[in-house]
Structure formats: structure tokens, C-alpha cells
Amino acid sequence: MVYKLVFENLKHRPLRTLLSTLVIGVGVTMILTLVGISEGTLNEQRKRAKGIGADVFIMGSTSSVIGTGTASMNEGLLKFLEEQPHIKLATGTVVHSLGTFKTVTGADFEKFNRMNGGLKFLSGGPFSEDGDILIDEFYSRQEKKKVGDKLTLLNRDWRVAGIYQSGNAARVLLPIKVVQDLTSTNGKLTMIYTKLDDTANTDAVIASLKSQLKDYKIFSMEELISQYTTAAVPELGVFTKVVIGLSVFFGALMVFLAMYTAVLERTREIGILKSLGATPAFVLGILLRETLIMSVLGAIFGIALSYVTRWVMIQLIPATFTQEIVYDWWPIAGLVTMVGALLGVIYPAWKAATQDTLESLSYD
Amino acid sequence: MTNGLIIETRGLRKVYRQGDVDVAALRGVDVQVKSGEFLAIVGPSGSGKSTLFHILGGLTPATDGEVLMDGKELGKMSESERTTLRRTTVSFVFQKYNLLPTLSVRDNIEIARYIAHKTGPVDPSFTKVLQMLGIDHRMDHKPRALSGGEQQRVAIARAIVNQPAILLADEPTGNLDSENSANVLGILRDLNHSIGQTILMITHNPEAAAFADRVIEMKDGRVVSH
Ligand SMILES: Nc1ncnc2c1ncn2[C@@H]1O[C@H](COP(=O)(O)OP(=O)(O)OP(=O)(O)O)[C@@H](O)[C@H]1O
Ligand SMILES: [Mg+2]
């Protein structure tokens, strides 16, 4: 009987029910999208790091894996490294930041290819003349560039020579000399990648390199990948918390307003129930059940909508952000907005359940 | 119940405050109702009849004076005791019907049973009551699909389904034709006889008042004749 009343109430005002549900859903989507982006973007970075095909990485002591750092290592180091036992191949890159989340990588194309097994071109091909630039599929989609198109970077126009499959560390590739010239980093490297004869030797090589190269950061593929976590980017963790906090607050406020007016509209009905002997707890129970049902529907809608935001992101900015569907967060996001919704309904519900019954009955 | 009185009021006053203006709806009402009595209350519009009912049912507090329900003072009860009183002892037929708009006729009656914790099938005699009230064929309609008189009869059915000890009926025949009025009054009379229900009925209709054991008249917030 209680649920009948609850469902009839929800059905009686379909538009209000729909709007409240949508508001709750948007809260869920906000949380899921944000968490999905921070997880997805890091996973994408891990995948790309693996795609380089290197076993041991070397960086200057001031660089960080997530940021780009400065090109602080001498090219001469490559020769030294290739003379070390077990190291088959050593190549360096210059990574230059183009602003938020965007970089251009200068690489020794021939060695870079040997390391990762060769770029897989989706269209076009490798550098053939001066002014050629290579981009990956996501970058090409985001910037809407095809082979032969003009691309302006570093105050210069380039011709897109080839578009390669994503998953190879860089989104935008130029010959290393070109980047060094344009960014006044001649003879310098940001990152060095080495390939070993056998990955079983990784620990031994790292130990030996560390004893000889004191001022460098040296680590294995596993270590590099383990650093791509939200913990490694504290700003991302704080940002996530702030946005989750905001979406909880926003969701609670919207539901508060929606339920407050809904309860006002229902003052008379609440008075009728009380005149029949219903307790405040009974009245509260009905309003809370309505809110719970809207929360559940809202959460389902919000989850569905997070697939839409992911699709939009894939269409518009695949190179900058990758949104993943993080199942673990479904119940968390649902619970968080549900708590917000309940907080929003308790005040007006309590007010309605305890006010003078006659006043409620004369309300119209 | 020491003196056989189920309801007794002493010097009951009610002042409604509307902004700066005070409206005295009751100016010292003393009423005594015996258990099992069928009492009619008549009087001009605005004389305080409905206000008296609202106070008796604990829907709003009196400004001054006492109400004894079955010997217990209403004003000294807690809110939850007054709620229990409405759930178990007193029920209303409101002048404005007060049906729940979202529920069907059947569910409007059912919710009263549910709130009173009366589960299980409805007493078969109640089906007959629904037939007599002429609403048995409208059970699945929402109140807004019903005429005023039909809504009034649903409100009556809802008020008597739990067979409360005290029924406060505010103009229960106000919107009914003479045939339906006679049916409603007959039903109340039967309840009064068969289960000894105490009935207080407000009416403007002298024929309806004639069904009662006793008639009192109110005027300007006072009882003017017994
Ligand atoms: N909620 C209220 N706020 C202010 N004044 C009120 C309120 N309810 C009733 N009154 C006033 O109290 C007086 C008595 O009203 P009440 O409804 O008890 O009259 P009544 O005898 O039932 O009249 P009627 O026969 O028209 O139903 C009236 O003057 C009315 O305007
Ligand atoms: Mg009245």
C-alpha cells in the first residue's frame, strides 16, 4: 500500500519526477566522467609507454615521467649506453610542451622504429622531405587533419606526412634535429630509451647504470608504468575530490529545491494522511521512498549518460583525454548522490510532517 | 469513562490570528457527549462548528479551555498520542472531503485501513455499505473523475471503514440529493445502533438533524441551545 502511494505520487507529477531524476543523474555523470577521465587518461599513458618497446628508461634528475621536464641530458650518453653489456639499442627523444596536456616529440625516426617494431601507418608514411610531420590517429581526429594537410606548431607550418596507429608514446612526431633546432636544445635529450638483449637482465643493467650515472633517474618499464597513477599527480587527486564535492553539493541543492517545492505542493495530502492518523515517520517514509526511487533511476540514467560523455570525448578530444568506464565507481557515485538527495529531502519532509495538521489541510 | 461522557469540553476558546487581526472562532464552548450518542450540530455559517470538530480531532490546538476525550485531556496529550487517537478512535468526514488525489477510490479507503493497521479482507458488510453509498462501481476512479456528491460519499466510506468509536461528520449530506442523503443518514443511524458508535454531525438541514438523538445550536462561537 505504501509503495502504491509512492508510485502513484511519482506518476501523478511525471514532469517533476523526470526533472528530479535527471538532476540526480547529472550528478552521477559528473562524478563518473571525472573519475573515468583521470583513470582513462593514465591508462592510455601506460599503454603508450609500453608501446615504445623499451626496457630501461633514463631521464635527467629534474624531470618527471608525467611532465615533460627539460632536455638536460647530452646526446653523448647514447654512445656510452650502447657500449654497456646487454644494451642492444639506445635512442633519445626531445619532448617539447605545447601547453596543457599537449607535447611534440622529436625522435631519431630510424632507431625509434627499431625500438617499437615500426609505426603502423593508417595513411601516408614516414618523413620524406623537410617540413614533414607525423601524427597519431587521435590527434588527427581531434585536430581534423588528413595526410597532406597543413599543421601549425612551434610557429611554423608543417605538412602531415603520415598518420599512425596510436600507442607509441608520442602523439606528434618530428625529426629530433628539427625540434632541437627550434627549441634551442641542440645536442640535448629529454628521455633516453634502451632495449636489452633479454629482459631478464633488467635489474642487473639498472644496478650497473645507477652506479655509473649518479645524476640520472633510471628505471624499468614496470617502474615507469607504476608511476602513472593518480597518486603520482596530486593535483589530479585534489581536482577529482573538488569536483566530486561540488557535484554532491550541486546535486543535493537541486534535489533540495525540487523536493522542497514538491513537499509544499503536497502539504494538503500530508495533512490528509495525518488526519487519518499517519505518524510523521509514515509521512517521512513515503517522501524518502520517493526520493530513493528517483535516486536509483537517476543513477541508472547518470551511468548511461557517462557512456555518452565518453563518446563525445572520443569524437572531440581523443588525443587530450581518454574517459574510461570505471565500474567500481558506479555504486560510489550512486550512493554519493543518493545521500545528497536524502539530505535534500529530509528538511522539507520533516517540516511537512510536523506542522499543524489543520494548516496543512487548509493549504492550497 | 467515569460519567459516561466520551467527549466533554469546558470553556473552549479558539482564536485564529490572521496577520494583525484576531478572529475568535470559539468563545467558550461547553459540550457534553455521551458514549453512543448521535448528536447533530446546527448553526449559521461561521459560527465555529467546523473549528470545534478540528479541535476535538486534535488537528489544531485550542487557545484556551479543556477537551476531555474519554476522560483524557487532549491538550495534555503528546503529539503522538493525538496521532494514535485519530488512528484508533476518531475519524472525520471533512466538509471539503479531503481525498488523496493520486489514489483511486479503492485505495483512498484502503490507505485508511492501512494506516490503522487493519489488514486482511474488508468486512463483507462494508461491501453492502459501498453499494448503498452508490460508489461501488467507481472504485477504480481517481477523485477528480468524481462529482462532488460522489467524493463526499467516498469520504464517508473512508471515515467508517475502520468502525471508529467516534465519527465527526462535517455536513456529510451537504452535497447530496434527498435520496442519497437518506441513504447516508440511514447508514450512520445503523452504525450508531449496531456498534454504538458516537456520532457528531454538523448539518444545515433540519431533516438530517431530525435523525439525531439530540440537536445543539451554535452561534458566534458559542452553544446557544441544547
Ligand atoms: N484557519 C483559519 N484562519 C483564520 N480564520 C479561520 C480559520 N478557520 C476558520 N476561521 C474563522 O473562524 C470562524 C468559524 O469558522 P468555522 O469554519 O468553524 O465555521 P462553520 O460554523 O464551520 O461555518 P460553515 O457552516 O460555513 O462551515 C469563521 O469566522 C472563520 O472565518
Ligand atoms: Mg464548517
Question: All domains of chain B, ordered by start, with CATH?
Answer: 37-61+78-218 (3.40.50.300)
Cell readout for B202 is: 454538523
- The minimum-distance atom of ligand 1 relative to the CA of A358 is 1
Which of B18, B59, B158 should one mutate to test binding to chain A, selecting the residue with the greatest count of A CBs within 10 A? B59
* B25 CA → ligand 1 middle, Å: 6
pLDDT band at A216 (very low <50, low <70, confident <90, very high): confident
Q: What is the mean pLDDT of residues A77-81?
A: 89
- What residue spans of B57-201 are helical by DSSP H? 79-88, 105-115, 124-133, 148-160, 178-194
Contact at CB, B83 and A273, closer than 8 angstroms:
no
Mean pLDDT for chain A?
Answer: 84
Nearest alpha carbon, ligand 1 atom 27: B45
Q: Residue B98 is nearest to which of A2, A275, A279, comparing CB atoms?
A: A275
DSSP labels, B182-195: HHHHHHHHHHHHHS
Q: In chain A, which residues have their Cβ closer than 8 Å to the Cβ of B102?
A: 5, 8-9, 11-12, 269
| A322-326, B73-77, B103-107: the lowest-pLDDT one | A322-326
CB A255 within 8 A of CB A341: yes
- The minimum-distance atom of ligand 1 relative to the CA of B17 is 4
User: How close A6 gets to chain B, by Cα (Å)?
Assistant: 9
CA distance A23 to B8: 53
Stretch 132-161 of chain B: residues touching chain A, C-beta under 8 Å: 158
Q: What is the mean pLDDT of residues B117-124?
A: 86
Report the complex ipTM.
0.94
Contact at CB, A275 and B92, closer than 8 angstroms:
yes
| A15-24, A223-232, A240-249: the lowest-pLDDT one | A223-232
Which of A272, A350, A355 should one mutate to test binding to chain B, selecting the residue with the greatest count of B CBs within 10 A? A272
CA distance B9 to B73: 9
pLDDT over 90 at B108, yes or no:
yes
Contact at CB, A361 and B59, closer than 8 angstroms:
yes
User: How close A283 gets to chain B, by Cα (Å)?
Assistant: 11
* B13 CA → ligand 1 middle, Å: 13
Q: Does the beta carbon of B17 sit less than 6 angstroms from any atom of ligand 1?
A: no
Q: Does the beta carbon of B95 sit less than 6 angstroms from any atom of ligand 1?
A: yes
pLDDT band at A74 (very low <50, low <70, confident <90, very high): confident
Cell readout for A49 is: 609507454
- What residue spans of chain B are helical by DSSP H? 49-56, 79-88, 105-115, 124-133, 148-160, 178-194, 206-209
pLDDT over 60 at A250, yes or no:
yes
- The minimum-distance atom of ligand 1 relative to the CA of B44 is 25
Q: In chain B, which residues have their Cβ closer than 8 Å to the Cβ of A271?
A: 98
pTM recorded for the entire structure: 0.76
* Predicted pLDDT at A282: 92
Contact at CB, A275 and B59, closer than 8 angstroms:
yes
pLDDT over 90 at B63, yes or no:
yes
Q: Residue B103 is nearest to which of A5, A357, A359, comparing CB atoms?
A: A5
* Predicted pLDDT at A33: 87
Long-range contacts of the stretch B155-158 (C-beta < 8 A, 24+): B155/B93, B155/B94, B155/B97, B155/B98, B155/B99, B156/B93, B156/B184, B156/B187, B157/B109, B157/B126, B157/B129, B157/B130, B157/B133, B158/A276, B158/B91, B158/B99, B158/B108, B158/B109, B158/B112
pLDDT band at B1 (very low <50, low <70, confident <90, very high): very low
Helix axis angle, B178-194 relative to B148-160, nearest 10°?
0
- In chain B, what percentage of residues exceed pLDDT 90? 87
